[in-house]
Amino acid sequence: MNEDPLALQRALIEAGDALAASGLVAGAAGNLSARRASGRVVCTPSGSSVAGLGLGQLVTLDPGGRPLRADQRPSSEVGAHLAIYAAAPGALAVVHAHPVAATALGMSRDLPDLCVTAEGAATIGLLARVPYLRPGLAPLAQACGRAAALGARAILMRHHGAICWGASLDEALGRMLALEHVARIVRAAPDAPRLTPEEVAALREGAGLPGAGGVACVEVTEQA
Ligand SMILES: [Zn+2]
């Protein structure tokens, strides 16, 4: 991750444009953030589309999660981003969106299993599902933090959307795009056999991710 603060802000603006262009968010939905080595987090603002943001609109938070500028409000979901950063030292960027197929899959009766392709197993890594919890409030943020602590890099939020993290904005955004892409494959072929846990673990390790024993998805409960 580039540590030049201006370069990081520009990368966040570009990633916001790319997320908006991907069609995985509508209106003012979705948000992104990146963490600096100092512990400061730069994030998108509350109530604004992630497309076409200006440098002055981005919100910088101190390591305690407070905006440096009192007149700015961060995205309402920034609590989930901060919980992921706290739980996963390797997380340097977080992307939240409302992808149609992935959100639909997140509401399925059975635990979703995206390990139908190598992309589903290794680009996405371990998937987690958190229960429906009201957006923007602490219990949802805490559930996302617990999911990240379990090793999940992609999280389906029931009746809401998805949140992904990575070691860079490109990685976090790429994981979100892969999540939606594979969810569409699963929707097209719901009965497709899954890759074996051994193959899933090997693919992940080959991609430099924890194998997680080849587990496709973990369910995170409301209570710790
Ligand atoms: Zn949302």
16-31: pLDDT as tens digits: 999 999 999 998 899 9
Query: Residue 157 in contact with residue 130, Cβ under 8 Å?
Result: yes
DSSP E strands, the chain:
31-35, 41-43, 59-61, 93-97, 127-130, 154-157, 161-166, 217-219
Mean predicted confidence (pLDDT) in 186-191:
96
Per-residue pLDDT at 83 exceeds 90: yes
Give the global pTM: 0.96
Spatial separation of the C-alpha atoms in residues 57 and 31, rounded to whole Å: 13
User: Could you read off the pLDDT of 117-160 as tens digits, one per residue?
Assistant: 999 999 999 999 999 999 999 999 999 999 999 999 999 999 99
Mean of pLDDT over the chain: 95
Going from the Cα of 106 to the center of ligand 1, the distance in angstroms, rounded, reads 13
Per-residue pLDDT at 199 exceeds 80: yes
Question: Which structural domains are found in the chain, ordered by start?
Answer: 5-219 (3.40.225.10)
Going from the Cα of 64 to the center of ligand 1, the distance in angstroms, rounded, reads 22
What pLDDT was estimated at residue 4? Answer: 83
Please list the residues that pair with 61 across neighbouring strands. Answer: 41, 67
Per-residue pLDDT at 190 exceeds 70: yes
Going from the Cα of 189 to the center of ligand 1, the distance in angstroms, rounded, reads 27
Going from the Cα of 139 to the center of ligand 1, the distance in angstroms, rounded, reads 14
For 64, residues 6+ apart whose C-beta sits below 8 A from its C-beta are none
Going from the Cα of 205 to the center of ligand 1, the distance in angstroms, rounded, reads 31
Going from the Cα of 105 to the center of ligand 1, the distance in angstroms, rounded, reads 16
Report residue 5's pLDDT band, with 50, 70 and 90 as the boundaries: confident
